[in-house]
Structure 1
């Protein structure tokens, strides 16, 4: 049944019923689909300048969480759990150093979390392109706001999973000292860390 006949019927029975149906239509139109994070295609990679010589890189893997997305209503949310023990730089000795109390201190803080607070979309009302995601990053026992810039975001029907998958790539630069990780900054090592986040999530 279309929306116009529903409203016509509702008006004939008075305002209370009309209000109920209008509310139901609003909820249905803004219902976001929920997706489960795919750990195989979701990761956080970092790059940090090494005393103005080279660039140290590494990543965190096996992330979990959920994503919700409604392109018509231009709404979304993302919740990520980042296991810091999954850190991999390609060098075991370097991994051990970064996991120590001098840096991530994973024995005390084994997990990091990201929770989005606001999604931004293209200003054109007919364009549902995701442009930015604001959120809160909890790391090393501290929580600070970060803004992720979307370099791409899309949904497709996975031929392997046989279900809808949404995901994209995001970038941001953070000041590690805001999370209490300040080792070697007094010796000239930058506090700025570039992050690249790959996210994919499959429909529940």
Structure 2
């Protein structure tokens, strides 16, 4: 029987290779690499609903990697977002959002975020700048860090790093303009949660 630790290491190697093939790894020289945990990584959104309430939902089962070099004040996030994972808790609403009126999931099943620069305030991560690719359109976004840190995970048995980030995007830049003339705001708030476990001896 194969050792469970060995199997876990092989699975991590495969995950990093898959991310690399998508161009989602950086070239940071001395950064530790963290494989993102889909149970602690998600993108949630909220948007005004005709000036009355707020519609909200999220995307789940994300994959990717985080790289972090605090001594150099550098980092990297590569994030793959399966658009079919969209959930608002309302089946009919999910179906409409997945349609060509909004995210057109059938034609564009995957979105990506790839960071280009990290901004620090002293020793703290202040923001992450990068590019969001959605519906085959790529535009820059800046994610403001509301918190970020690392800890020794008692569950995973290794170091984990991650944080919460926020930004507001103009959805029309990605071609999503349904109902902008009818009262649904074009600005969408995003809250991004990322957390990953350290990948040992793979760099």
Give the TM-score, by structure 2 length.
0.83
Equivalence for 1:97: 96
1:39 aligns with 2:33: no
1:147 aligns with 2:146: no
Supply the distance in 1 between the matched residues of 2:54 and 2:183 (Cα, whole angstroms).
Answer: 14
Is the 2:33–2:67 contact (alpha carbons within 8 Å) kept by the matching residues of 1? Answer: yes
Aligned length: 171
Equivalence for 1:69: 68
SS class of match (1:39): coil
Unaligned runs of 5+ in 1: 1-29
Supply the distance in 1 between the matched residues of 2:126 and 2:32 (Cα, whole angstroms).
Answer: 19
Quote how far apart the aligned CAs of 1:66 are. 0.7
**Higher Cα radius of gyration:** 1
1:163-188 deviations in Å (ceiling 9; x for gaps) = 00000000000000000000001112
1:172 aligns with 2:167: yes
Is the 2:49–2:183 contact (alpha carbons within 8 Å) kept by the matching residues of 1? Answer: no
1:75-133 deviations in Å (ceiling 9; x for gaps) = 100000000000000000000000001100000000000000000011x3xxx210000
Match of 2:195 among 176, 183, 200: 200
Unaligned runs of 5+ in 2: 1-28
1:85 aligns with 2:84: yes
Equivalence for 1:116: 115
Supply the distance in 2 between the matched residues of 1:62 and 1:187 (Cα, whole angstroms).
Answer: 32
Give the TM-score, by structure 1 length.
0.83
Identify, as 1 or 2, the structure richer in helix.
Answer: 1
Equivalence for 1:181: 176
Match of 1:159 among 154, 157, 162: 154
Moved over 3 A (4+): none
When the two chains are superposed, the root-mean-square deviation of aligned CA atoms in Å is 0.7
Quote how far apart the aligned CAs of 1:60 are. 0.2
1:191 aligns with 2:186: yes
SS class of match (1:177): helix
